[in-house]
Structure formats: C-alpha cells, structure tokens
Structure 1
Amino acid sequence: MADPIAGDASVPSVDWRTPLELGLLGAIWGGSFLFMRVAAKDFGAFALVEVRIVLGALILLPFLWRARGLLTAAHWRRFALIGALNSAIPFSLFAWGAARAPAGIGAIANSTTVLFTALIAFFVYGDRIGTRRAIALVAGFVGVVVLASGKIEGESVGAAALAGALASLCYGFAVNFTKHWLAGVPPLAAVAGTLSCAAVMLAPFAFFAWPQTSPPLKSWLAATALGVLCTGIAYALFFNLIRRVSASRASTNTYLVPLFGVGWAWLLLGEEPTATMLTAGALILGSVIVSQREAR
C-alpha cells in the first residue's frame, strides 16, 4: 500500500504549468488587438506595424545570430516571402481594421487562420480533408460572412472583418510555407529572420506614412507592448511551449485568443460584444475546434 504522505509514484503529478502558459499566451495575443485599437488611429497602420516588427525582431535577433551558420541565400529569399505573408501584410491589415472597428472584430477574424491553413494545405500540398472537417470549414466561413454583416452604432464593420479574414489567409499561406521550407531552421531564428525581412520591406511605406504629429504616450506604450510583448516575447513563449509539450497542444491557445481579444476590449475600452459578433465567434470557434480535432 502506498505511503499516504509520500504519495503513489505511479500517479502522474498534475501539470499546472501548461494551462497557465496557454492562458498567458492567449491573454497576450488577445491583448494585441486591444493595443492595435489604442494606437492605430494615432500611428496609422504602416507606422504602427513597423514599430511592432522592429521591436519584435530586436528581441529575437540573438536566436538569428546563433543560427547564422545554417542560413543560405535561399533561406533569406524564403524569409522575405514568409515575412511578407506572416508579418508585414497581415499586421498591416489588422492595424487598418483596428482603426475602424472594435478590437473584437479582428480577434474573431484571426481565428480563421486555422481554417485557411487547412484549406491551403489541401489545395497546395494535397493534404486530406475529411467530411467533418469540410463541414467545419464551411461553418467557419459562414461565420466570417456573419461577422462582416454586423454593425456597431450604425456603422458597418464589414471592411474590418474582411481585412482580418484576408490577414488570416496570409497567415494560412505562411504556416504552410514555413512547415515545408524552413523545417531545418531553429524556429525562433526563422521568426527573427522573417521579422527582419518584413521590417526592411515595410520601412519605405512607414517612412512616407509616418504621422506628422507625434502620437500620444498611451499610443507609444501600446505600440511598444505590441512589439516587445505580443511579438518578441510571445513567440519565444510559444515555441518554448511547443518544445515542452507538442505543437498540437500548444496550438490550442487559438481557442483563447478571440475570447481574450473580446474580453480585454470590453473590460478596458467598453466595447461590448454584439449579437452578431457572438454568433460569428461561436461559428468560427466551433469550426476551429472540430477542424483541429480531426486533424489530430
């Protein structure tokens, strides 16, 4: 009989660290939509995203430097394309939408990344999509239509919702290309490389679109949080979580991002979720859950 004080060594200890890290990551990435909402009007999309990408790249540059001996010219060409699809374009689209609609709109639209990733894997790489997953994809895209049909205080949020969906489509391509092209590169080095390329590509747009008057302190703080916390530190947390538990388990933070995105905006900005947002969120999140379960 096992010692009641020492405990039974055959019974695994409860893993509290993983759910805490998943919750923290969901809160951070959900908070990115709050920070964009605060800063986008003062900075403009291109300037805000340039600040975000540069700060995120600086946080991760040591990982890129450590892996420099592994990189070839072909890697840098791939970094450039993935940097455009994973950072420069989608970040700009989300920031543009954040200046025109509540933060929750972008957070909900961002959830469709999982659906677009599966769809692109099917069309480009021939991955299988079962019946349940196909139905889930249809339901998720119906959710996007519902989200785009909504109005806030009489103003349509359709443009912001579609911008978010287009950004998620870019993410879908980036996820697939990263999986097939950068498998031999340490993940954080790859992220640092793609962010660096994105910063260079976006620099001319940010220069010409830079605000004529300096943004207020709260917008600078939000932009800094976007770059340091939501980009540099969040990626480091995410890939550390993947290394410790698995990619499939780490990816479940996808379920938390829209919940935190809507929750932070409601709590801190007073942006109440509408019936349309809740309906669309339920459709999209439900489809993501079904899609990921079948994928596993």
Structure 2
Amino acid sequence: MTDLVETARPTGASRTDIGKIAAAAGLAVMLWASAFVAIRGVGNALSPAPLALLRLGVAAVTLTVIAAARRAVRVRLSRKAFLLIAAYAVLWLAGYTVALNAGERHVDAGTAALLVNLAPLIVAVAAGKFLGEGFSRSLIVGSLVALGGTAIIATGATAQRDWAGVLLCLLAAVLYAAGVMIQKVTLRHVDGLAAIWLGCVVATVVLLPWVPRLAGELQVASVGAVLGAVYLGVFPTAIGFTAWAYALRRMNAGRLSAVTYAVPAVSVMLSWLLLAEIPTAYGLVGGVLCLTGVAISRRR
C-alpha cells in the first residue's frame, strides 16, 4: 500500500506524510471490509433503508462530536461545494448504502464484497476520462478480466436465483464509484472531515422518510442487531470515510481506489470466521478473476 501511495505522492511530501496516507487508506480498507460482515449479520433484523438511516444518523452524530472537539463546526461553504457534498451524499452515502444493504439480503458478505470491488475499475476509467489521470493498456486488459470474473459470479448466482443480489451489488459499485469521483472534486473546496460530516448529515436527512419504519423495527430488533448498526455508523462510516477522505485529498483517485482490492479478501475471511459463510465455487473463481483484473489494471 505504501508503494502505491509513493507513486502518487505530491512534490515535497515527506515519508511521514506518505506513512500517514498509507495508514489512513489501510484503516479505511479494514473497516469497510468489516462492514460487509456486519451488514449481513444485521440485515435480517433491519430492512435496507431503515438500517442505512440508523447507520448514517449514528455517523452524523459521531462526526458532529469530532468536529466540535476540533472546533470545526463553523464551516463556510460556497454554493458549488455544498452541491458537490449533497451529490456524493445522495449517491454514495445514501444510495450505495441502501443498495448494498438490499444486495446482502440475497448474497453472502464475501460475494457482495467481490462484486462491489469493481468500483476501483470504474473509478480508474472515470478518473482517466474526467480528471485527466490517463488510460493505459493494462487498464483495458484488467477491465476485461474483471468483467469476466463478474460474469462468472453472476452465472453462479443466477443459477441459485440470487441474480437480484448481484444486480444490487453492481448498482452499489456504480454508486460507490460515482461518489468517489464527486468527492475527489469536492475535496478541492473543503477539508475531508467537513466533507464527510456534512455528507452524513445530508444523507441522513434524505433517509428521514423511513423514520417510522425504523422505529417499528427497533422495537422488535435484538440488542445485537442494534449494536451492529451502531458499529456500522461509528467505525466503517464515521471513522472509515474520514480516513478515506484524508487519503483521497492527498493522492489521485484511480490509484488510491486500487488499494480497496484488499477489501474482498478480508471480508471473505471475516465472513468465514464470524458467520460461517464461504462464497460458492463460482463466487471464488469469479472473485479471483475480479481481483486479478483490478491488479492488472493498476500496473504502471
């Protein structure tokens, strides 16, 4: 991971700065990997939108406390900056979260992580097109390999009538990639903490129509399910997205997104240890191809 960051470090950046960026990216990867397992564990107690609302509400409160402690509550934003924050909040924080929650009702945590991990390829292509980060032969080859892996996963899932989960996870990957692209531009106008804090607030407001349903489900949900949702809000969302924003502001979007290819491996391991879930043979073979494609696409 440090090597990936080194290749994109800004002029004059010290090794200490590189270490901080690598640590932030690594923390985000570990927390996001755990989120797939937590969502799978909580998903039977809370439906997709109410779970997203609780998760983002907890994250918004947590980040408000952090912002207040850092005396960063008063943030002056231009109209453009606020619109950018609102856009990625709706697409990534709200849309992606709901789509992933729904997808994991049909497929296991490891398979979901493998499918969502196509997002780095989408980011790399979009960054090359819209942010001037360029294209390469390896990106094209890697994209084709990864798409082949996705087709294998989809074939196995469809055979088991889980195609809805595959489509939802692919939708989550697209929303994730769109969110990263918009957030990259947003971070030119506002610091990472303010961006993710305000983004969580906006996403929570967008999901407020599901408050009555959330209230009803919380009355019958187990303590473990509620604690799982709180964990999702504090760690993968508040801390994980803040760490990601810190790293994203300091290196290019395409190369940073490449480090997330470690997420599925960690998710599969955690899913196996905590939920006794292992992806199908189709999922494992297709997942290996997806990860291979991502690795090929990021070769210099």
| Corresponding residue number in structure 2 for 1:133 | 139
Deviations 1:3-40 (A, max 9, x none): xxxxxxxxx99x99887766554332111011100111
Task: Mark the runs of 5 or more structure 2 residues left unpaired by the alignment.
Answer: 1-14
| Corresponding residue number in structure 1 for 2:198 | 193
Conserved? CA contact 1:55–1:227, under 8 Å? yes
Alpha-carbon distance, 1:140 to partner: 1.3
Distance 1:78 1:247, change over 3 A: closer
Which of 44, 47, 54 pairs up with 1:41? 44
Conserved? CA contact 1:43–1:211, under 8 Å? no
Q: State the identity as a percent.
A: 26
Task: Mark the runs of 5 or more structure 1 residues left unpaired by the alignment.
Answer: 1-11
Conserved? CA contact 2:141–2:296, under 8 Å? no
| Corresponding residue number in structure 2 for 1:204 | 209
Alpha-carbon distance, 1:240 to partner: 5.0
Bigger shift: residues 57-66 or 40-49: 57-66
| Corresponding residue number in structure 1 for 2:54 | 51
| Corresponding residue number in structure 1 for 2:120 | 114
Bigger shift: residues 100-109 or 178-187: 178-187
Conserved? CA contact 1:49–1:92, under 8 Å? yes
Task: Give the residue type in structure 2 aligned to 1:72.
Answer: S
Alpha-carbon distance, 1:283 to partner: 1.3
| Corresponding residue number in structure 1 for 2:148 | 142
Q: TM-score, normalised by structure 1?
A: 0.83
Deviations 1:26-73 (A, max 9, x none): 332111011100111211001100111111122222438616343123
Looking at structure 2, the residues matched to 210 and 119 of structure 1 have their Cα atoms a distance apart, in angstroms, of: 41
Task: Give the residue type in structure 2 aligned to 1:170.
Answer: L
Deviations 1:172-217 (A, max 9, x none): 1121222224412101211111111111001113434654442111
SS in 2 for 1:38: helix
SS in 2 for 1:156: coil
Residue pairs, 1:235-246, within 5 angstroms: 235-240=241-246
Looking at structure 1, the residues matched to 169 and 212 of structure 2 have their Cα atoms a distance apart, in angstroms, of: 24
Q: Aligned residues, how many? A: 281
Alpha-carbon distance, 1:249 to partner: 7.5
| Corresponding residue number in structure 2 for 1:172 | 177
SS in 1 for 2:207: helix
Distance 1:237 1:97, change over 3 A: same
Bigger shift: residues 185-194 or 242-251: 242-251
**Structure 1 residue 68 corresponds to structure 2 residue 74:** yes
Looking at structure 1, the residues matched to 20 and 203 of structure 2 have their Cα atoms a distance apart, in angstroms, of: 33
Deviations 1:111-140 (A, max 9, x none): 111111123335555653222211111221
**Structure 1 residue 283 corresponds to structure 2 residue 286:** no
Conserved? CA contact 1:140–1:284, under 8 Å? yes
